[in-house]
Structure 1
């Protein structure tokens, strides 16, 4: 199979029929063998009923339904596990991503040898204050932190080689950073393509200020994982040793001063250096233990299920 389209969605009943028709037209005109995997992330409208109806009239349509809303990252992860195509295309279900971009994305992966092609919505039709300015700030921070020179990390329209999506684990809210996860896994041929962006036709955006804040927290998380995820002792152990050394140096100074220099002076416990020494050594010990426990957890962790599927087509 040439293509798998993985489409996560939440309450997009109004757009599904139109999106399916548009995709089918593009696929058939280019004679692709394909599958469309709709992942219903706990919709409360008629989205799943429509997916079931589409699957009865089009054998290329498949569906995965979550018990409740687990998040876009979990939806993508489930879709990646189910995808069988040589190239996997992800896109949103709100009609803001243009299916006519798919043939060129496919060619860039198969002919040009890219591991990932990420869409770039250079011209956007979103609210400037609500999405455009926060997105620009977010993408700037992501570029500086990850080293990937992508303009639009959060664009839902992306193309992947099959082995790339099978090698990465998308959890939490890490869907924004799939290119970074892939780079950390050794897939570093990552390109970018300007894609058409369209104004939302139905419903309302799921984006809010909370997602913007969470995005930056996830950015800090993925930076830490990239640098120290396999060896947390390298960070916490090093900081612990430094803090303990600072505390020990103050303690040594106080001991030498009391024994040989200022024998009749005030008590050690009445000097501020004593408390600096004590605090630094305690913090150093705690940091070292945190690194040690982190190493133990990494070596004994299990892959627990992060979502529950209640129906599948």
Structure 2
């Protein structure tokens, strides 16, 4: 009787304790994977000593993913919330929705296709704390994907991202990451920028507080990959955007203004030369292509400087006003609703 009372009291204390870790998993058309995913997470987290919660974000699935996810609400030993988005907004928006919903001191993110191993999460949390990091990124050292369509493009992308952003990691694309909530909630994820999260975090904290750890990677067991070779081209475009935002996010006028001044200087040299050729040497310049080039460069210079001024005004508006989220939550299921 005393033992039962003690266990009950211990459970009450655990339930009243603050959430230490929020595990965020975006899922889209993973009806066969979501059940085994929850089972694996529950099994892996039995070794985690503190209170934790699981947040599944259904990104507008068109199959039974949402139904299968909701079946686990109320499961013993599991605090589960299922966030249903109104439509498919993409993995980045779904991840942002989960991060916004999370209440833990730490946040872990992972894919919902069973390729990430939840058994790595307790070890990653310990490593994050031991190394006093703000972000710990998983490194799929033995990646179980196709060489041509996944590995080679990923290697190239990781090299380019590291060179441009200055954050040296082996695997930017791994969704298995551990964050300090106070840090990741300062980062606004937009577009398809989830693969550049370490670069965005480096804009908030020093890159020395970002680390990586080798993790297990499994071959896909169910469904089809949502990515293809076309993703490589999108990564290149996103990388250019990241480079711009990292260097000129708060001062875009410097970027456009520098281009404008460079074009203006070149235009000035051409026009001064033509002025000297016309009025000092007496040559006809009306039909010379160089005159047209000088005029076009002058107009381009004015346009770039004007664009820079407009960009500065837009940036100031952005920092002054609150930005609405890039997703719409249809409903959050946590066992307390009448559904």
TM-score, with structure 1 as normaliser? 0.95
- Residues 109, 161 of structure 1: 8 Å contact kept: no
Aligned position for 2:120? 101
Query: Who is 2:204 aligned against?
Result: 185
Match of 2:293 among 276, 286, 292: 276
User: Residues of 1 paired with 2:325 and 2:198: CA distance?
Assistant: 23
2:274 to 251, 254, 265: 254
3-state SS of 2:173 partner: coil
Deviation at 1:305, TM superposition (A): 3.3
Q: CA deviation at 1:128?
A: 0.9
Count residues with an aligned counterpart: 310
Partners of 1:275 and 1:281 in 2: CA distance: 10
Give the drift of 1:187.
Answer: 4.4
- What's the CA shift for 1:135? 0.7
Equivalent of residue 173 in structure 1, options 176, 187, 192: 192
Which deviations, in whole Å up to 9, do the C-alpha atoms of 1:65-121 show, x marking residues without a partner? 111110111011111111111111101111111111011111122232111110000
Distance 2:185 2:125 in 1: 18
1:132 maps to 151
Distance 2:249 2:184 in 1: 20
Alignment correspondent of 1:21: 39
**Are 1:119 and 2:119 an aligned pair?**
no
Match in the other structure for 2:11: none
- Residue number in structure 1 paired with 2:14: none
Bigger drift between 301-310 and 167-176 goes to 301-310
Three-state SS of the structure 2 residue aligned to 1:155 is: coil
Task: Tell me the residue number matched to 1:89.
Answer: 108
Contact 1:134 1:212 in 2 (8 A): yes
Superposed CA deviations along residues 138-173 of structure 1, whole A, max 9, x for unmatched, are 111111111111000000111011111111111101
- Do residues 77 (structure 1) and 96 (structure 2) align? yes
Structure 2 gap ranges (5+): 1-18, 334-339
Q: How far does residue 186 in structure 1 lie from its aligned partner after superposition?
A: 2.2
Question: How far apart, CA to CA, are the structure 2 residues paired with 1:97 and 1:151?
Answer: 16
Contact kept, 8 Å, 2:47 with 2:122, in 1: the verdict is no
Equivalent in the alignment of 1:30? 48
* RMSD between aligned residues: 1.3
Quote the Cα distance in structure 2 between the aligned partners of 1:187 and 1:210. Answer: 32
| Correspondence list, 1:99-248, <5 A | 99-188=118-207, 189-248=209-268
Q: Distance in 2 between matches of 1:17 and 1:272?
A: 69
CA distance in 2, matches of 1:273, 1:239: 20
Q: Deviations over 1:200-259 (max 9, x none)?
A: 111111111222211111111001111111111111111111211221222222222222
Q: Following the alignment from structure 2 to structure 1, what is the Cα–Cα distance between the partners of residues 92 and 60? A: 13
Contact 1:115–1:187 at 8 Å: present in 2 too?
Answer: no
CA distance in 1, matches of 2:159, 2:47: 38
**TM-score of the aligned structures, taking structure 2 as reference length:** 0.88
Aligned 8 A contact 1:126 1:132 in 2:
yes
Between the aligned partners of 2:148 and 2:277, the Cα distance in structure 1 is 61
Residue 53 of structure 1 is matched in structure 2 by 71
Structure 1 residue 63 displacement after superposition: 1.1
After superposition, give the CA deviation of every residue in 1:273-303 in whole Å (9 maximum; x if it has no partner).
2112101101111111111111011111341
Tell me, yes or no, if the aligned pair for 1:248 and 1:277 is still in contact at 8 Å. Answer: yes
**Unpaired segments of 5 or more residues in structure 1?**
none
